[in-house]
Amino acid sequence: MSLDRAPRRTLLAVGVLSAALTLSACGGDSNGKSGGGGNTNFVTNTGGISTAAKGERAATGKLAGETLDGKRLDVADLKGKVVVLNVWGSWCAPCRAEAPHFAKAAKDLKAQGVEFVGLNTRDPNKQPALAFEEDYGVTYPSLYDPQGELILFGFPKGTLSPQSIPSTVVLDKEGKIAARSLMALNEEKLKSMIEPLLKEK
């Protein structure tokens, strides 16, 4: 091993460790605590859904890249619509439990101006993820993020960011982070995050 490779490997290990600490696999805190640290203005109800008031919402960082089916997608292009971002992996049992609810809600709400985008993570290749989408009837696109880089850098520190798998973040029509859940959701809970944003002017 050459000396110049050693620091690179150390940096890679530190990066992977940071991502692992930031994003817990198949877990979530449903006891009503808000995340983000510091002096935040998040409100979390007892169902584990955190929200930010309209004037206190932050924009996401860059959430763009290649989808599982090889197309380019930039979430910023969806401004003007309510956007549901769902962090999932094909290996994650709670993700499998919530997938049929997301597939149905995506179809039901599309005509109302709601777009769903998956953030597929920790699948080392696309095949299991594509099989997952087929098995559960998921027709909306998913950005392929095997290393969790979009998740890590796409949500500014101190915001309602995804911190577990599955996580769901809902953006308002201005592209700002309005609501977050850190657990698997059924259709009713999912729609409870979306519907108030559809009524906003």
For residue range 137-152, list pLDDT tens digits in order.
999 999 999 999 999 9
DSSP assignment string, 91-132: T-HHHHHHHHHHHHHHHHHGGGTEEEEEEEES-SSHHHHHHH
On the question of pLDDT at 35 being above 80, the answer is no
pLDDT band at 29 (very low <50, low <70, confident <90, very high): very low
- Position 13 pLDDT exceeds 90: no
Q: Which of 53, 81, 64, 31 lies closest to 182 in space, CA to CA?
A: 31
Nearest to 166 by CA among 151, 183, 152: 183
Q: Which residues pair with 116 in a beta bridge?
A: 84
How much is the pTM? 0.82
Distances (CA, A) of 191 to 23, 130, 150, 162: 24, 25, 25, 18
